[in-house]
Structure 1
Amino acid sequence: MPVAPAPNRPILPATLIGAAAQFLFTLNIARPSILMFDEVHYVPAARKLLALLGPANIEHPLLGKTLIAAGIWAFGDNQFGWRLPSTLAATAVVLGVFGILWVLFHNTRTAVFGALFTMLNFTVFIQARIGMLDGFMAAFLVLALLALLHAAYAPPGRVWRQWILGSVLLGLAVGVKWAAAPYVAWVALGFLALRWRDRGAPRHWHGLGTLPALALLGAVSVASYCLTFAPAFFYASEPMTLAGLIPFQQTMYLQQTQILPPHPYQSSWWSWPLMIRPIWYLYEPADGAQRGVLLLGNPAILWGGLIAVAWCGWTGLRTRAWTLLGIAGLWGASLLIWAIIPKSLGFFYYYYPSTIWLSLALGAAAQRWPARRKHWDDAYLAVAAVLFVYFYPIISAAALPGPPAFKYWMWLPSWA
């Protein structure tokens, strides 16, 4: 069971990890100099949004493209402008995981391990270095969870502010991609589950009534989502209107649920945890060399994280440890989304938020297991680091010897 946060927060370790993550994510971000993968959709849409010309890429809300547009405005219409906002989002994810584990366990080592697993996961590294929407959505989701956990332990005078902040961040996540919308429901269900667990002796969210909290969660998240459409009201062509905002959601829904032709990188949701079909974001000559970016997870984290999730679930049930059950349930719920959402095609990058929750499970395992398996966590973190270095050439768009070079890293035939 979670306990109240300790008064002395580990500011220095968090600062050092955040600086290291930002350096790692930004290093050589200019390669490749060409647009890769879905940047071909989102960067042109961001350019059009920056100029307020009119609607573009209407199947998704505006916020993610607005953030890319902000990068272009601040750093120029180049690789830095397209991608630097994504590096900030990924650093926020790393620090958010650090904060979540600190709030749950009040153990600096646990928070550090979870943050390092997050930083060394290829999915986080790659999404940090591309102008796509998923990195922004994940950052808002992680920060929303952190704010809502802070609310659980905040004094009555501050619980409302933290709850509202978490609700705003959830709305912003949905304002990036609709895939974040189910998390609002998961938060509500988790809140009700803890209220039921604490019935008769409230231990969380002191001063926050159940019905007002749920009403506030819904109203604030919806309002925040709607506000992300503000730039559309200033389009030179086909500007948004208040009367058209609700019907536009139906247009977006039809765009997102249309039947699409088969794609060589498509995969089913149940295959993502096994990492059967990753995606080549890039594999072509660029900037004078053969380069590649394979969206793949760190095997030690994606496969080992499944064991950690199972351990969290089993131990949570056996010992009635709701914190561990919540971590396992969060991963399971994040995957369940894709079993429900009516998408005609699925892709491995949809699994991105789930890969972040795996780091929470690994951090929790590192917190509970050292007494039984001394230094296992140090060794496992070292394995993750070695794998990061081993795969670095094909997750960072480094120069490769030639077109056949990718075979060196193909552990499974389906990865090619």
Structure 2
Amino acid sequence: MAPGTAVSGSRVAGSGGEPGLTPVGTPPPLLPDRPGPADRLGAPPPSDRLRGWAVTVAVTLVAAVLRLVHLGEPTDRGTPVFDEKHYVPQAWEMVRNGGVENDPGYEKIVHPPLGKQLIALGENVFGYDGFGWRIAAALAGVLTVLLLVRAGRRLTRSTALGGLAGILLTADGLSHVQSRMGMLDAFGSLFVMAAFAALLCDRDDIRARMARVVAEGRVADHEFGPRWGVRWWRLVAGLCIGLAGGVKWNGVYYVVAFGLLCVLWDVSVRRRAGVARPWTGTIARDVLPGIWALAVVPVLTYLGCWWAWFGSETGIDRHVVGREIGTGGLFSWVPDSLRSLWYYHARVLDFHEGLTTQSAGKHPWESKPWTWPMGLRPMLYRWSDKASGCGEPSCVSAVMLIGTPALWWPSIPVLGWGIWRSVTRADWRWAAVLTGYAAGFLPWFLNLDRQMYYFYMMPTAPFLALATVLVMGHLLGRPGRSERWRRAGLLVVSAWIALILVNFVWLWPILVGDSITPAHWQAELWLPSWR
């Protein structure tokens, strides 16, 4: 952030309480006695487009370098590590089998195909080695940073805070490691963030269109308010949610979460513009098109992810009608291919529901959701005491999935502050961020007997970065605060950012599998639960 600037959080005329960059020492503008509807629709996105893209490209390039350096290492003597052992061979089978998996003997194909197809693209181009099976996930991680910068900039109305959000995600150990693994979660995180960014664009687009309606004096033409026609950004969001579901089923929770968020935004814009019946207008003119965009489109997109399975003869459970299930009955009118897919999904659901600690045994690195917000139980993906090059006779190489503590450990007060702001100030920014975080976190409490792992938090990491920059923006101050408070806030935020970056650098050897001494390895393990 440039010297002499701070983030504004005051309700200024025409801003709707949304933050922007304000020079330190600028007196707060006079508030109108009765702000009109247009004043309550919110500030437009930042106008510094060139600077915004320059910051976006710079942060993304840094993320690309860090995500791609020595991407092909380490491996397990040339083979995948940890859960890569499931997805990497399945993706390689797709390369040789027309995009479809074929595992009739073991039936371990328990996730939708999209993530594995993306891994397969990398393998097809670069070969069956560490770089080949990880490049797609690494690129997904880089693109997530890019989208986060753009979404953060639009959310906070600050290019500086948007860039800072991207830096925080780049320096997050969980996101870093998971983006360098041939696993599925990096792809789900990418599509969720893409959907979120598209919804922010839709929100701004509708408010700009409503401002024109108000300016032209047409807001009272109908008690329900104006119609919007096709909302293309919302269709893009629905497409991205469907793609997230095509990676893993937990993407379906964002259909509900983002759908409810959009309803509240639609009611808000009609009410703030002075529409006579905002709730009825939203139901009549926004909800039904919203169901199409955020429910039907995701389902159709999800089905499209199964294109190779539909076109195959050897896909698992592709032709079960007439064998495992009958040809008649109440649903005999449904095409055999869809009935087979439904049967397949039922078997997959059976597998996941049965994957409990009691039935499958306790995995040494499993954890429960209440430990995830602070990353109290990380995961050891690889460990070897046969490494060399650390300067001592005995060397260690390890890859540990761990969120950068300086970012994750303050998450409870950060999220708590966000809940307070959402409830007491109706702050839409916090409501949006908390919705995205909750959709990736709370559903895991529905079945606590199931085996669970810390990497399930991958989709929440971008929202934690956004929550952190919102708190930092508040600490930086707003017009009306004294110069002393502003400087104190700048000092606290600068120290926090420096601590996150230093923490990431300290963890680097165990995030990428560098050769280190046994003493250094022990120094990396800060808590008993990390062992």
Question: What is the TM-score normalised by the length of structure 2?
Answer: 0.73
User: Aligned pair in 2 of structure 1 residues 209, 319: CA closer, same or farther (>3 Å)?
Assistant: closer
Find out whether 1:177 has 2:248 as its counterpart: yes
Aligned pairs (5 A) from 1:153-164: 153-154=204-205, 160-164=231-235
Give the aligned partner of residue 138 of structure 2: 87
Question: Which amino acid is the alignment partner of residue 308 of structure 1?
Answer: V
Partner of 1:366 in structure 2?
472
Match of 1:227 among 304, 307, 314: 304
Instruction: Give the residue type in structure 2 aligned to 1:318.
Output: T
Q: Distance in 1 between matches of 2:448 and 2:415?
A: 26
Amino acid at match of 1:248: Y
CA apart distance, 1:48: 1.0
TM-superposed deviation, 1:343: 6.0
Separation in structure 1 between the aligned mates of residue 93 and residue 528 of structure 2, nearest angstrom: 40
Per the TM alignment, residue 150 of structure 1 is displaced from its structure 2 partner at its CA by 0.5
- Match status 1:279 vs 2:350: no
The answer on 1:213 being equivalent to 2:307 is: no
Q: Secondary structure at the match of 1:154?
A: helix
Whether the 8 Å CA contact 1:151–1:159 is kept in 2: the answer is no
- Please name the residue that 2:11 is paired with: none
Give the one of 409, 421, 425 matched to 1:315: 421
Structure with more of its chain in helix, by fraction? 1
Give the alignment of 1:9-20 within 5 angstroms. Answer: 9=49, 10-20=52-62
Structure 1 residues 104 and 208: alpha-carbon distance in aligned structure 2, compared to 1, 3 A threshold: farther
Aligned equivalents of 2:267, 2:396: Cα separation in 1: 57
| Separation in 1, partners of 2:172, 2:368 | 21
Q: Equivalent residue for 2:453?
A: 347
Aligned-residue offset at 1:210: 2.1
Per-residue CA deviations over 1:226-257 (Å, capped at 9, x if unaligned) read 11111223445246334422222212211221
Gaps of 5+ in 1: none
Q: Does 1:139 align with 2:239?
A: no
**Aligned residue pairs: how many?**
415
**Tell me, what secondary structure is at the counterpart of 1:292?**
strand
SS of the counterpart of 1:290?
strand
Between 235-244 and 349-358, the greater mean CA deviation after superposition: 235-244
The correspondence for 2:442, drawn from 326, 332, 336, is 336
Greater Rg by CA: 2
Alignment equivalent of 1:244, drawn from 337, 340, 353: 340
The structural deviation recorded for 1:330 is: 3.1
- 1:208 and 1:298, CA in 2 relative to 1: closer, same or farther beyond 3 A? farther
**CA spacing shift, 1:43–1:202, aligned 2, 3 Å:** farther
Contact 1:309 1:327 in 2 (8 A): no
**2:84 is aligned with 1:33:** no
Which digits, 9 at most, give the CA deviation of each residue in 1:12-56, with x for residues without a partner?
110111111011100111211331111000001101111126434
Instruction: Give the distance between the partners of 1:209 and 1:96, measured in 2 at CA.
Output: 26
1:258 aligns with 2:309: no
- Give me the whole-angstrom Cα distance separating, in 2, the residues matched to 1:202 and 1:103: 21
1:399 equivalent in alignment to 2:515: yes
Give the CA deviation at 1:335.
Answer: 1.8
- Per mean C-alpha deviation after superposition, the further-off stretch among 247-256 and 294-303 is 247-256
**Amino acid of the structure 2 residue aligned with 1:8:** D
> Is 1:8 equivalent to 2:48 in the alignment?
yes
Q: In structure 2, what is the equivalent of residue 415 of structure 1?
A: 530
Instruction: Evaluate the alpha carbon distance shift between residue 84 and residue 238 of structure 1 in structure 2; reply closer, same or farther with a 3 A threshold.
Output: closer
Question: Residue 514 of structure 2 aligns to which amino acid in structure 1?
Answer: A
Contact 2:73 2:513 in 1 (8 A): yes
Given residue 188 of structure 1, which amino acid in structure 2 is its aligned partner? G
Deviation of 1:412 (Å): 0.8
CA contact (8 A) 2:203 2:265 kept: no
1:305 to 404, 408, 411: 411
CA contact (8 A) 1:92 1:143 kept: no
**Distance in 2, Cα, partners of 1:209 & 1:329:** 20
CA displacement at 1:364 relative to structure 2: 1.0
Of 192, 216, 221, the residue aligned with 2:263 is 192
| C-alpha separation in 2, matches of 1:100 and 1:335 | 20
* Stretch moving more, 238-247 or 140-149: 238-247
**Residue 306 of structure 1 contacts residue 358 of structure 1 at CA under 8 Å; is this kept in 2?**
no
Deviates more, 1:32-41 or 1:117-126: 32-41
Cα distance, 1:285 vs. partner? Answer: 4.8
Q: 2:237 aligns with which of 166, 180, 184?
A: 166
Answer yes or no: is the 8 Å Cα contact 1:32–1:286 preserved in 2. Answer: no
Report the secondary structure of 1:385's partner residue: helix
Query: Which moved further from structure 2: 105-114 or 363-372?
Result: 363-372
Hey, what's the Cα distance between the residues in 2 that align with 1:265 and 1:98?
32
- The answer to which of 48-57 and 126-135 deviates more is 48-57
- Relative to structure 1, is the Cα distance of residues 252 and 29 closer, same or farther in structure 2, using a 3 angstrom cutoff? same
- What amino acid does structure 1 have at the position aligned with 2:373? P
Give the SS at the match of 2:384: strand
* Mean Cα deviation higher: 205-214 or 191-200: 205-214
- TM, length-normalised to structure 1: 0.93
1:351, CA displacement in angstroms?
1.7
Shift of 1:405: 4.7
1:77 correspondence with 2:77: no
Once residues 189 and 214 of structure 1 are traced to their aligned partners in structure 2, the CA distance between those partners, rounded to angstroms, is 11
Q: Distance in 2 between matches of 1:324 and 1:209?
A: 23
Please report how far the alpha carbon of residue 278 of structure 1 lies from its aligned counterpart in structure 2 after TM superposition. 0.9
Query: CA shift at 1:297, angstroms?
Result: 0.6
Q: 1:374 to 1:218 in 2, by over 3 A?
A: same
Structure 1 stretch displaced more, 179-188 or 300-309: 300-309
> Are 1:108 and 2:159 an aligned pair?
yes
Q: Tell me the secondary structure at the aligned position of residue 283 of structure 1.
A: strand
- Match for residue 55 of structure 1? 102
* TM-align CA RMSD: 2.4
SS in 1 for 2:380: strand
Contact 1:298 1:387 (C-alpha < 8 Å) held by counterparts: yes
Amino acid at match of 2:170: M
Aligned-pair distance for 1:352?
A: 1.8
1:268 to 368, 371, 385: 368
